[in-house]
Amino acid sequence: MKFGGTSMAGTERIRRVAGIVRRQQAAGHEVAVVVSAMAGETDRLVNFCREANALYDPAEYDVVVAAGEQITSGLLALTLQAMGCKARSWLGWQLPVRTDDAHAKARIETIDSDGLIASMKSGEIAVIPGFQGLSPDGRVTTLGRGGSDTSAVAVAAAVQADRCDIYTDVDGVYTTDPRIVAKARKLKYVTYEEMLELASVGSKVLQTRSVGLAMKERVRVQVLSSFIDDDAPPADDLPGTMIVSDEELEGLEMESQLITGIAADKNEAKVTLTRVADRPGAVATIFGPLAAANINVDMIIQNVAKDKGETDVTFTVTRADLARTQALLEGQKEAIGYFRMICDSKVAKISVVGVGMRSHAGVAATMFRALAERGINIQAISTSEIKTSVLIDEDETELAVRVLHTAYGMDAE
Amino acid sequence: MKFGGTSMAGTERIRRVAGIVRRQQAAGHEVAVVVSAMAGETDRLVNFCREANALYDPAEYDVVVAAGEQITSGLLALTLQAMGCKARSWLGWQLPVRTDDAHAKARIETIDSDGLIASMKSGEIAVIPGFQGLSPDGRVTTLGRGGSDTSAVAVAAAVQADRCDIYTDVDGVYTTDPRIVAKARKLKYVTYEEMLELASVGSKVLQTRSVGLAMKERVRVQVLSSFIDDDAPPADDLPGTMIVSDEELEGLEMESQLITGIAADKNEAKVTLTRVADRPGAVATIFGPLAAANINVDMIIQNVAKDKGETDVTFTVTRADLARTQALLEGQKEAIGYFRMICDSKVAKISVVGVGMRSHAGVAATMFRALAERGINIQAISTSEIKTSVLIDEDETELAVRVLHTAYGMDAE
């Protein structure tokens, strides 16, 4: 079970969390709980670090910020004890959660689970601070913001858990953002691949890394709400959304859905270089320097050369990287040999995601037709095996999502 | 160097501390720094624990409260780095600071100093969170409130430091409380034994345990102010009070002072049992049950039996223990066989302390005469090798301290 910062914000809320945990144990489960810091606490600690040293040493930053989860893990253990449960905390360095030494963005390598399993078998609830680990040279590491989801999946894998329940402030994964489409439906199941695509295009339910790890380690993950009443269905009845493998999904559903979800991402910016020489290696002179600067390029479209052996190249980067991208490409103008650079950060990427897409032609065609009927212009297209994305004007984001939700027959009754 | 919670309260104050540390390193020293949590932070964390579980498990309490010092140690390392110093934090479990398993009041057993010494030799400033350690079974321990002084002395002993500088909100140890006696003088030197007596009778400059440890390990301790200007004398010029051994003091001062300091303690309460049977074993029936209940008895006076083989027994306990003492002795009334119990918590214990007392008769006589001249009634007397204490009416505390300060010729010019 994993609880986020909103659920852990103060002793009163921690008491509610402890109640949920206790009911899960009472249902006959051995339980490990991964917790985040109290909402706001990590920000407080990060601000201290910034004030102390603008260019902070990530190793000392980790020492400071890991304290937030240490506090909530001790408090949840105390609260469970007050309810008559056996419980103890296991800090990152105690298990230990072994990571690489990339401080502030470490990756989990292994979790020694012997002590944890023995403790759980004895009826003790294990409480584990998320987000933190131990580097090869014995120092505190953290996994980067939102890393507690990844901690939870890693712990579930290490103890070979039947299920990893992620309690959040939403009650599951929806076909699209319910704030945009009132008729969005909660999904009962979603595959790892679909969840990865949905997460990477703007659905903020789970950290992308945690989904990738769950897929690799075959951990069954359930997303469900921590704001539940005592008479809500227990977690075993799967009231949230289960994230499962393709194979499991096939066994569960008679007919897989064509499209699982629609996501909108307003975090990209479009760059067009006009009249680039249409010769071998020209594209490498553009994207080589960007890769070297660690700037991630998403969609790429190269128009067919019309005349004079010249072509226009369009691609997208995150908005945060746009200024650096511009500066870099202006410096490379001669080397690349383009005529003009046109940048536009008022764009949105709309993606339809679904494993059913693999076996069905016409998914993209439906998309283009539906958007064209409403006069929405498509600026770029990219596809993967289970996803089709288009780039459109940012102002048309909500309209496009609603149109597509209806076009794919996903609206709730 | 050790800095308390007031000095560490916020990044601005931590910057001042870093400045003091850097100057010390610039003077040619290898430096280790022990820090407390930010003022108020430990209270905040203790309150969380109380809210979570009134009868809290001290092992989980330690997990929560140790976070305060972890945060400040990382922040001081970051701040030193921002000033161009090499610095790193060493958490209690990293050194490790090995303690027993008495959670929330653990005692330090050993400190593995190899890594610490190597780091300091390489020019790195070591920053160590006070108050915390590691139990034999690998869990977080804390030393009890005020334990950071003890951490500092233990680290100084482990690295065989030339000196342990304790930076506080006073600039040294005074002959008595300067708020009571304006003419109190700051002492240049004081012996461990004197400091122990002064600390145990109400002088709050250092935690008693830290002084005992310094005496045992022969650590030279200097108490000095953390609120210093850039042009204040450097710590090497000993601007504070040095706590040293008897032998070192003899080498330093031509003639040792008769009396080093005067302390007042309003934390005691007086209990009198009247008409106790004057027979062997009667006293044991009183103090046996108190010892069993872990109630510490300080002064004891038994009046000579006047008639009928009966006597009055008077003793003192801390005010916090008075209610429990009363309840216990009421329950034992038959077994002890006393007539009446009279309790008085409006008393104060005034102590004069000094190693010179050993070789000089008449110290107590001076005390009794000076108090008598001002009409101050002495209710009880106790003495040790370097201390004479009297119990008086609480309302006369300040008067008694001033009278004695003058009587022993301690007033500043």
Please report the pLDDT score of residue B230 as a whole number.
67
- Closest Cβ opposite residue A75 in set B64, B75, B94: B64
Residues 6+ apart with CB under 8 A from B4: B36, B39, B148, B167, B168, B169, B226
Between B139 and A412, name the one with better pLDDT.
Answer: B139
Q: Which CA distances in Å does B3 have to A163, A261, B16, B88, B129?
A: 47, 56, 11, 16, 10
Beta bridge partners of A384: A387
End-to-end CA distance of chain A: 33
| Strands B2-3 and B32-35, sheet pairing | parallel
| Strands B241-244 and B189-191, sheet pairing | parallel
Provide the whole-model pTM: 0.84
Please report the pLDDT score of residue B169 as a whole number.
83
Please report the pLDDT score of residue A306 as a whole number.
62
Sequential DSSP letters for A270-338: EEEEEEEE-STTHHHHHHHHHHHTTPPP--EEEPPP-STTEEEEEEEEEGGGHHHHHHHHHHTHHHHT-
Let me know: does B146 contact B207? Beta carbons within 8 Å. Answer: yes
CA-based nearest distance A234→chain B, Å: 24
> Which of B32, B38, B310 is CA-nearest to residue B155?
B32
CA-based nearest distance B406→chain A, Å: 49
CA-based nearest distance A333→chain B, Å: 38
What SS3 state is found at B226?
A: coil
CA-based nearest distance B39→chain A, Å: 15
Within 8 A of A78 by CB-CB distance, chain B residues are 49, 52-53, 56-57, 60-61, 64
Residue of A nearest to B72 (CA): A64
A63·B82 Cβ contact <8 A: no
Please report the pLDDT score of residue A145 as a whole number.
75
What SS3 state is found at B74?
A: helix
Hey, is the C-beta of B78 within 8 angstroms of any chain A C-beta? Answer: yes
Please report the pLDDT score of residue B122 as a whole number.
96
Give the whole-number percent of chain A exceeding pLDDT 70: 97
Please report the pLDDT score of residue B222 as a whole number.
96
Is 90 exceeded by the pLDDT of residue B228?
A: no
DSSP H or E segment with residue B46: helix B41-52
Which residue ranges make up each domain of chain A? 2-251
CA A362, A367, A373, A377 torsion: positive or negative? negative
Is 80 exceeded by the pLDDT of residue A386?
A: yes
CA-based nearest distance B84→chain A, Å: 11
Let me know: does A321 contact A336? Beta carbons within 8 Å. Answer: no
Please report the pLDDT score of residue B248 as a whole number.
87
pLDDT tens-place string over residues A264-317: 999 999 999 998 887 777 778 899 889 888 888 888 887 766 667 788 889 999
B57·A14 Cβ contact <8 A: no
B79·A52 Cβ contact <8 A: yes
A52·B91 Cβ contact <8 A: no
Hey, is the C-beta of A207 within 8 angstroms of any chain B C-beta? Answer: no
What band does A397 get if pLDDT is binned at 50, 70 and 90? Answer: very high
Please report the pLDDT score of residue B359 as a whole number.
75
A139·B94 Cβ contact <8 A: yes
Determine if residue B13 is left, alpha or beta; phi over 0 gives left, psi from -120 to 50 gives alpha, anything else beta. Answer: alpha
For residue B62 the two structure tokens come to: 């330690």
Q: Which CA distances in Å does A306 have to A30, A279, A313, A334?
A: 66, 13, 13, 22
CA-based nearest distance A79→chain B, Å: 5
A49·B81 Cβ contact <8 A: no
Is 60 exceeded by the pLDDT of residue A254?
A: no
Class of domain A2-251 (CATH, top level): alpha beta
B140·A91 Cβ contact <8 A: yes
Find which of A207-216, A228-237, B38-47, B221-230 is predicted with most confidence, using mean pLDDT.
B38-47
Of the listed ranges A299-303, B9-13, B202-206, B377-381, the one predicted with least confidence: B202-206
CA-based nearest distance B124→chain A, Å: 14
Interface subset of B 339-358, CB within 8 angstroms of A: none
Mean pLDDT for A320-330 is 94
Distance, CA of A247 to CA of A23 (rounded, Å) = 31
Distance, CA of A105 to CA of A352 (rounded, Å) = 30
B74·A93 Cβ contact <8 A: no
What band does B145 get if pLDDT is binned at 50, 70 and 90? Answer: confident
Class of domain B2-252 (CATH, top level): alpha beta
- Closest Cβ opposite residue B11 in set A51, A63, A70: A51
In single-letter form, the type of residue at position B373 comes to E
Please report the pLDDT score of residue A304 as a whole number.
64
> Which of B42, B36, B39 is CA-nearest to residue B9?
B39
What band does B226 get if pLDDT is binned at 50, 70 and 90? Answer: confident
Please report the pLDDT score of residue A364 as a whole number.
86
Distance, CA of A206 to CA of A195 (rounded, Å) = 9
Residue of A nearest to B96 (CA): A138
Of the listed ranges A164-168, A407-411, B184-188, B274-278, the one predicted with least confidence: B274-278
- Closest Cβ opposite residue B52 in set A52, A64, A75: A75
Hey, is the C-beta of A66 within 8 angstroms of any chain B C-beta? Answer: yes
Mean pLDDT for A97-114 is 95
Residue of A nearest to B134 (CA): A94
Hey, is the C-beta of B89 within 8 angstroms of any chain A C-beta? Answer: yes
Please report the pLDDT score of residue B200 as a whole number.
67
Hey, is the C-beta of B9 within 8 angstroms of any chain A C-beta? Answer: no
Distance, CA of B106 to CA of B217 (rounded, Å) = 18
Distance, CA of A410 to CA of A354 (rounded, Å) = 12
pLDDT tens-place string over residues A24-39: 999 999 999 999 999 9
DSSP H or E segment with residue B398: helix B397-407
A82·B51 Cβ contact <8 A: no
Please report the pLDDT score of residue A284 as a whole number.
83
Hey, is the C-beta of B253 within 8 angstroms of any chain A C-beta? Answer: no
Residue of B nearest to A52 (CA): B79
Please report the pLDDT score of residue A305 as a whole number.
60
A70·B73 Cβ contact <8 A: no
Interface subset of B 214-233, CB within 8 angstroms of A: none
Between A259 and A87, name the one with better pLDDT.
Answer: A87
Please report the pLDDT score of residue A109 as a whole number.
96
Please report the pLDDT score of residue B346 as a whole number.
96
Give the whole-number percent of chain B exceeding pLDDT 90: 68
pLDDT tens-place string over residues A148-172: 999 999 999 999 999 999 999 888 9
Q: Is the peptide bond before B58 cis (omega within 30 degrees of 0)?
A: no
SS3 content of chain A, % helix, strand, coil (to 5): 40, 25, 40
For residue B261 the two structure tokens come to: 């300091």
Please report the pLDDT score of residue A383 as a whole number.
83
End-to-end CA distance of chain B: 32
Q: Is B3 buried (19+), middle (13-18) or exposed (0-12) by CB count in 10 A? A: buried
Within 8 A of A138 by CB-CB distance, chain B residues are 94
**Mutation to test the B interface, candidates A44, A48, A50, most B Cβ within 10 Å:** A48
Cα angle B120-B125-B126, degrees, rounded to a multiple of 5: 80
Interface subset of A 11-50, CB within 8 angstroms of B: 11, 14-15, 45, 48-49
What SS3 state is found at A146?
A: coil
Hey, is the C-beta of B95 within 8 angstroms of any chain A C-beta? Answer: no
Is 80 exceeded by the pLDDT of residue B278?
A: no
Please report the pLDDT score of residue A159 as a whole number.
97
Hey, is the C-beta of B137 within 8 angstroms of any chain A C-beta? Answer: no
Question: Taking CB atoms and an 8 Å cut-off, how many pairs form between chains A and B?
Answer: 117
Mean pLDDT for B137-163 is 95
Mean pLDDT for B86-103 is 97
Q: What's B376's DSSP letter?
A: P
Distance, CA of A37 to CA of A65 (rounded, Å) = 9
Within 8 A of B73 by CB-CB distance, chain A residues are 63
CA-based nearest distance A88→chain B, Å: 7
Q: SS3 string of B301-350? A: EECCCCCCCEEEEEEEEEHHHHHHHHHHHHHCHHHHCCCEEEEECCEEEE
Please report the pLDDT score of residue B277 as a whole number.
81
Please report the pLDDT score of residue B202 as a whole number.
61
Residues 6+ apart with CB under 8 A from B33: B1, B2, B3, B17, B21, B76, B125, B126, B127, B128
Within 8 A of B82 by CB-CB distance, chain A residues are 52-55
A75·B59 Cβ contact <8 A: no
Please report the pLDDT score of residue A312 as a whole number.
87
CA-based nearest distance B52→chain A, Å: 5
What band does B280 get if pLDDT is binned at 50, 70 and 90? Answer: confident
Is 60 exceeded by the pLDDT of residue A322?
A: yes
Q: Longest C-alpha distance within chain A, in Å?
A: 80
- Closest Cβ opposite residue A67 in set B60, B70, B81: B70
Let me know: does A164 contact A224? Beta carbons within 8 Å. Answer: no
| Strands A310-318 and A300-302, sheet pairing | antiparallel
Let me know: does A302 contact A283? Beta carbons within 8 Å. Answer: yes
B63·A45 Cβ contact <8 A: no
Average pLDDT in chain B: 91
